[in-house]
Amino acid sequence: MMMISYLIRLIILAAFAALGSSSNNCPHGPKIRFPFWLKDQQHHPEHSSGYPGFGLSCTQTDDTVLELLFPPKASLLSQTKLLFSVKFVIKEIDYKLQSLLVSTVDGCLPALLPNIDLFASPFHFQDAYGQYDEYTYFNCSTTRSDYYLNHIHCLSTPSYQVYAVQSSIEAFSIPLFSCTKMFQIPSVPFALFHFIPTLLELV
């Protein structure tokens, strides 16, 4: 089994290194080459020039999208085995370094972070700043404008606002009188909470 996994990894790495011929691209996206392929034009990876799991799509705004499926954390496996879907707009593909520059486009990733295994994917998040932090979520009854508070719009409602803040600075830097602590998430890339495109690298 280990030998099969090793051979599959070698195939994928070789595919990234290969120049290959360009396929049709999304108008606003990077060039798509093997091992990637466009789902809109090639419905089955075994019949395409791409690799299974590397299918891309074009959005209505002509951006290139990669959908990744994340399993639940080990502590939640007894409750659910469903995979969580998050779609990413691909800004750049570096075939030599085997990395993607992406930003989220669909799905509330900050809401999923407490439940998903972020690193159980062929691609791992690599923060451009090399910064991984623990974040604390707060439910606040009023809108806040503090610099260090990251507003999680997709978790907020008209009656309350949800913010995430680096746990290392929450205790002494930010007054949170109208807020209630929700939970903490360890080892999250800095870019995910600061709306900065981040790197996904093949591992």
Q: What is the pLDDT of residues 119-136, one digit of tens each?
A: 777 787 776 666 778 888
* Residue percentage of the chain with pLDDT more than 90: 9
Quote the pTM value.
0.70
Tell me: do 15 and 50 sit in the same domain: yes
Domain membership of residue 139 as a residue range: 132-187
Task: Check pLDDT > 80 for residue 183.
Answer: yes
Task: Check pLDDT > 90 for residue 51.
Answer: no
Q: How many domains is the chain partitioned into structurally?
A: 2
Q: What sign for the dihedral angle of Cα 166, 169, 171, 173? A: negative
Confidence of residue 139 (pLDDT cuts 50, 70, 90): very high
Tell me: do 143 and 58 sit in the same domain: no
How many beta carbons lie within 10 A of that of residue 106, not counting itself? 13
Tell me: do 87 and 180 sit in the same domain: no
Tell me: do 121 and 52 sit in the same domain: yes
Tell me: do 166 and 120 sit in the same domain: no
Tell me: do 103 and 175 sit in the same domain: no
Residue with token string 């451009």: 128
Tell me: do 77 and 18 sit in the same domain: yes
